[in-house]
Homo-oligomer: A and B are copies of this chain.
Amino acid sequence: MNGNLDFDHYFSRMDTRLADMWGNIMRTSPMASCVLQGKTTRELYAIYLVETYHYTSHNARNQALVATRPDVRNPIYAKFCMTHASDEYGDEQMALHDLGSLGFSKEASSIPAALPETEALIGYLYWISMTGNPLRRLGYSYWAESCYGYIAPLLQKIKTTLNLAPAQMTFFLAHSEIDQAHFEEVKSAIRRNCKQEADLLDIEQVMEQSLVLTARVMDAALSAHQEFGRKPTRRYDFLTPQIQSM
């Protein structure tokens, strides 16, 4: 029984923590500052879309992986992981589409490999999906499905800075609509499956760490863009035609 868990209080604490963390990101992340100051370039947005493509392409996989674990015996949670993963499978294609609608190559084969910070996020998500408390992956979903309120100012600023049409922001726009329902499902999954305080703490830890690692991906995209500006490398060849045509 989980009658002794106060989920309303827990969600409130989680939301407060998220508000703090996002506030901190907005104040201290070089990438957030760059965006909010209207300094986003099409190349920077493209570089971030590439990293988004990479980690998103693993999200459905690592979520489904939870359901394949021999120690997961709870059909409610396993089915949640499988059907949720099925819903999100292929979402990374929207990031490729947006790259293409910006005029860059949208071929998965032509974009660069994930930055090390992105691999750190990806590796962490597989690790917490494959080991430890299987419920804890819900911590990633918790913030990922509820982030659009927090990142709306960034998206709005990117939109105006680059004068983007909706068809050039499908990944972020589509997610902000879909994920409202998903967020309710995540909270429902927490209510139905968590039986003890330790489950809630494990989910909270993954929420925090996966958001920290995601913020580092944002800043790594900015660093990569700055390095590219100083010394173009073959890594970002796919950006070059765009630069020449400007």
Contact = CB atoms under 8 A, between A and B. Distances in A.
9 contacts: A62-B68, A64-B68, A67-B86, A78-B89, A82-B89, A83-B83, A113-B132, A123-B125, A123-B127
Interface in A28-75: 60-62, 64-65, 67-70, 75
Contact of A86 (B79, B127, B128): B79
Contacts of A117: 209
A122 interface: yes
Nearest to A69: B61
A116 B206 contact: yes
Given A60-B82, A123-B128, 20 more contacts: A61-B67, A64-B68, A65-B68, A67-B89, A70-B131, A75-B93, A78-B89, A78-B90, A82-B82, A82-B83, A82-B85, A82-B89, A113-B132, A116-B206, A116-B208, A119-B127, A119-B128, A120-B209, A123-B125, A123-B127
A89 B79 contact: yes
Count identical subunits in the complex: 4
B67 A85 contact: yes
A97 to B, nearest CB: 14
A151 interface: no
Interface string A82-113: 11011001100100000000000000000001
Nearest to A82: B86
A47 B206 CA distance: 20
Contact of A61 (B68, B85, B116): B68
A234 to B, nearest CB: 10
Interface residues of A, number: 38
A22 interface: no
Kindly list the 4 A-B residue pairs having the minimum CB-CB distance in the complex, ordered from nearest: A123-B127, A116-B209, A75-B90, A82-B86
A126 interface: yes
A209 B86 contact: no
Given A86-B82, A119-B127, A124-B124, A64 B61 contact: no
A68 B117 CA distance: 22
A213 interface: yes
A205 interface: yes
A239 to B, nearest CB: 19
Contacts of A128: 119, 123
A165 B122 CA distance: 41
